[in-house]
Structure 1
């Protein structure tokens, strides 16, 4: 087997309606549960003691809560597991049990026990940027996140939504991947991102509409 050049393979997962088990009930697990709920996961928290937020979510039916010590059976049906307890032995057991069951596991801030790590996320509407230092420096990842938050404005999300709305009609009008690549690259080359950044929304839409007309691609009414 060749030596790995990179420790982790970057990937975006759709966790909607997937069962995610979080072992631990402190502040870190609260943040992890909140994030997983935001992305539509079915969250189960396993811990004898939990924060007020976790207890409140459980009472309102937003998550499942098992107020108990961790057991191997708590992993039944789990697609993803996250562990962050104050007991290293429990964290280690969770990691071993997950590996035996072939369930991806993240033990927060214990890289050698992780099968996946969670990146710092820059959320700009429909555009998400994930940042990882391979678990070596969370502080640097946070710094990169702060820098990108300033660099990437709302115009990226707006343009992403506009271009996304063109994909169905572009697939009908332009038969090959190369044709579609030229079409979308051509739109970007016309400077529409800068137009949106400068608040020239009508000009940007008109520019995209002209590109569509030239290529025989329908410009959706909802994008006008």
Structure 2
């Protein structure tokens, strides 16, 4: 270990920053967050530092650094590009046993500034000992994605009730178990979802009734898994997936996303596809309620977004009937994800000022849609689950007045490495796909924006594109 990790109390303590450029401004903001009394010395003051003067009540001295400037300082940071000044700062600081950091010059430092994850009062610091600052920032970004913004306020709540927990729960080992369950369970999730008053009330009740044997009710998280690419998951989705006891998922959830679920979680497949439902929707609703009533934390993992053709509202209604806590985590819907990965903007000033999402389910071998509205110009139409009825859709658009040459795109398994884009027109598309081995899920986009695909495409999984 090249450096001993240490947290220093700098509240109201005099600290010196030598230099007043962009980098110095970043260091000033860090020191200010710690409550330091900051003096800045530099012959030239950048606009960034000038803007910080009133915000943090900085003492700015506009001249070059001298050895006398270190008196009474508790900590010094030098952020200049002048080697002689940096060397003088370090030499003078060491003579007076004052911790000193020279930005991007480890050999002149007695301490280094780590990458910081600030969820005060919880603070984490990551360092490579100056070997690779970029690598430490990348690691910080990964950890940041796992720690909710409300984590610090949750810590303050725990601090508030530490005494009460100690009074009611003995021995210490049981207190540890109590806190582990509390800070990873339903009370914490209530807090993260903004129900802080309810979370505090339930925490207090749990402390005062620790000897009760009443049934523990779990909760359900409806999580949008997005269109397929794991990188499109939200931070909240990933966190809940990694703490779930049970994951109920459908066929639109890619294997790569399912691999991110907690390893020991029970996984229940309820895949739904045309004419082949492993479980009817009503049974899925009751399954979620039954698992939660058994005390499980349940993730209902749904492709795309739970509230866009995902039947999430129906599942929530059942949970409400059973008085079960739930969260809904939005996902990137297929329309947005597949269009973006295909280089097809859904709206564009020169092509479309509106966008309509519809479902293309067949009923009595026809697709019952308001074609008179859909063929209006200057709009984009996105059709979910429309592959089976595609011939009918194209013919109906033409019948109701759309140009046979209106561009149309069929996107297969969008955002994944199996993505394939077939570009045609309303007239040519049925023949284009007739002998193609199309693998669902698919999405259909109709509108002149499709013509922008060639110019704007950027995602190239082996360039699987077919044209008329």
TM-score (norm 2): 0.41
Against the structure 1 CA distance between its residues 192 and 24, is the aligned structure 2 distance closer, same or farther, given a 3 Å change threshold? same
Alignment correspondent of 2:108: 113
Structure 1 residue matching 2:161: 3-state secondary structure? helix
- Which structure would you say has the larger Rg? 2
Distance 1:54 1:195 in 2: 40
Structure 1 residue 177: Cα displacement: 5.4
Alignment correspondent of 2:283: none
Indicate which of 46, 61, 69 corresponds to 1:74.
69
Indicate which of 41, 48, 54 corresponds to 2:43.
48
In the alignment, structure 1 residue 211 sits paired with structure 2 residue 206: yes
Q: Please, what is the CA RMSD of the aligned residues?
A: 2.8
Structure 1 residue 215: Cα displacement: 5.2
Q: Which stretches in structure 1 are left out of the alignment for 5+ residues?
A: 1-5, 217-224
In the alignment, structure 1 residue 29 sits paired with structure 2 residue 29: no
Structure 1 residue 132: Cα displacement: 1.2
Against the structure 1 CA distance between its residues 88 and 178, is the aligned structure 2 distance closer, same or farther, given a 3 Å change threshold? same
Structure 2 residue matching 1:162: 3-state secondary structure? helix
Alignment correspondent of 1:62: 57
1:184-223 matches, cutoff 5 A = 184-188=179-183, 192-194=187-189, 196-197=191-192, 204-205=199-200, 207-214=202-209
Indicate which of 159, 162, 167 corresponds to 2:154.
159
Q: Which stretches in structure 2 are left out of the alignment for 5+ residues?
A: 212-468
Structure 1 residue 8: Cα displacement: 1.3
Distance 1:33 1:47 in 2: 13
Structure 1 residue 165: Cα displacement: 1.0
Could you tell me whether the CA contact under 8 Å between 1:125 and 1:154 is conserved in 2? no
Against the structure 1 CA distance between its residues 26 and 155, is the aligned structure 2 distance closer, same or farther, given a 3 Å change threshold? closer
121-130 or 159-168, larger mean C-alpha shift: 121-130
Could you tell me whether the CA contact under 8 Å between 1:24 and 1:47 is conserved in 2? yes
Alignment correspondent of 1:129: 124
TM-score (norm 1): 0.80
Indicate which of 95, 102, 107 corresponds to 1:100.
95
Against the structure 1 CA distance between its residues 49 and 200, is the aligned structure 2 distance closer, same or farther, given a 3 Å change threshold? closer
81-90 or 166-175, larger mean C-alpha shift: 166-175
Distance 2:20 2:161 in 1: 44
Could you tell me whether the CA contact under 8 Å between 2:22 and 2:49 is conserved in 1? no
Q: Deviations over 1:117-156 (max 9, x none)?
A: 1111122354322221121111111111221222211342
Alignment correspondent of 2:239: none
Structure 1 residue 176: Cα displacement: 7.2
Alignment correspondent of 2:6: 11
137-146 or 52-61, larger mean C-alpha shift: 52-61
Could you tell me whether the CA contact under 8 Å between 2:168 and 2:207 is conserved in 1? no
Against the structure 1 CA distance between its residues 107 and 176, is the aligned structure 2 distance closer, same or farther, given a 3 Å change threshold? farther
Indicate which of 51, 57, 80 corresponds to 1:85.
80
Structure 2 residue matching 1:74: 3-state secondary structure? helix
Alignment correspondent of 2:142: 147
Structure 2 residue matching 1:143: 3-state secondary structure? helix
**How many residue pairs end up in the alignment?**
211
Q: Deviations over 1:146-197 (max 9, x none)?
A: 2122221134234212211112334555687556435433534655435545
Against the structure 1 CA distance between its residues 78 and 207, is the aligned structure 2 distance closer, same or farther, given a 3 Å change threshold? same
59-68 or 106-115, larger mean C-alpha shift: 59-68
Greater fraction of residues in strand: 2
